[in-house]
Amino acid sequence: MNRKRIGFLYIGETHTEYLDIVRCLSVHGIESQLIDLTHCESVQWDDFSLINVRECRGYHRHPNFLSIIDDLENKLGHVPMTNSFPVIRVAIDKANYLRELEWAGVDLIPTVWLKRGEPITLEEIIENTGWQDFVIKPTVSSKSWNTYRVVAKGNKIQIIKADTTMSYQDSKAKNAFTDLIETCNVCVQQFMPEIFSRGELSFVFIDNQFSHAIRKTVAPDNWLAHEFFGGKNELYQATEYEISWAVQIFKILRQKYGCFLYARIDAIPDNRRLLLLECELMVPRLFLNEGHALEIYVQAMKKRII
């Protein structure tokens, strides 16, 4: 193939920086095309030099996403995919890779994993963990989808939904939790109040190398360090210790799952250490403009073109 062309798979919406990526690729003589993963039956995959999955931001709303990916693997043939199919399969569910990292000695934010349909109540979670403030979310989720904060005060339980202003008390709160665990596997994480004072740190890796770090802050009337909920993102000058911490986690990921075009490792500072919140290995926001890394990202894709 003489023409260099990258196909960007997407579901739902693309990242805000997508058009900047397209323009930068064009400067390098590389064409781009968005491919709707839910309507790609007629795509001629041999027309592409590389396929990128990072724009599939709505994957969590499509229960057949993995089956589409499995089918795509059989169709691509020699055309490379970034990140790879093994990475996609492990990254889609937080329980997959976070448990592996914990077993490898990485300190997570204190976490409990619950299976779909598990007969447990909010009261039992509170009693078993001793937590009065925690977050529950599906193990397959993105952009804080179906994420709740649970706050216990005496005999009262409040549950606050992330993507709305809705707040449930007592029986309604318990019903909301029951509805969630009846439909999906659930991750329960202790709420870290440091999020208000120190924010959340994101360490971005491109082409298997540390690129830059971002500090995400919480809006005055919210509890999530996310721009969608009014939070701010700012370039962060990470310390040697912080970079080393993230690099060690990335090395474990690479040893287990192979090479990465991109990855993001999220942490919340706790006193003098960092605790791992999660890793974004499939469709992460990479803060390419904030980190002045757009060219680095494009060059990394260019290296992988067949």
Give the residue ranges of the chain where pLDDT is below 70.
1-2, 163-168, 170
Write out pLDDT tens, residues 139-148.
988 777 788 9
List residues bridging with 6 in a β-sheet.
Answer: 32, 50
Domains recognised in the chain with CATH numbers: 5-83 (3.40.50.880), 91-108+195-287 (3.30.470.20), 111-190 (no CATH)
pLDDT of residue 170: 66
pLDDT of residue 224: 83
Q: What count of Cα atoms within 13 Å lies in the side-chain half-sphere of residue 226?
A: 14
3-state secondary structure of 99: helix
CA–CA dist 87, 91 (Å, integer)? 6
Q: Kindly tell me the burial class for residue 198, based on how many C-beta atoms sit within 10 Å of its own C-beta (0-12, 13-18, 19 or more).
A: middle
The pTM (predicted TM-score) of the whole model is: 0.93
Write out pLDDT tens, residues 90-129.
999 999 999 999 999 999 999 999 999 999 999 999 999 9
Locate 54 and state its tokens: 């990072």
pLDDT of residue 163: 65
pLDDT of residue 89: 92
3-state secondary structure of 272: coil
User: Which strand (E) or helix (H) includes residue 276?
Assistant: strand 273-280
3-state secondary structure of 11: coil
pLDDT of residue 165: 59
pLDDT of residue 166: 61
3-state secondary structure of 64: coil
62 with 11: CB under 8 angstroms? Answer: yes
pLDDT of residue 156: 87
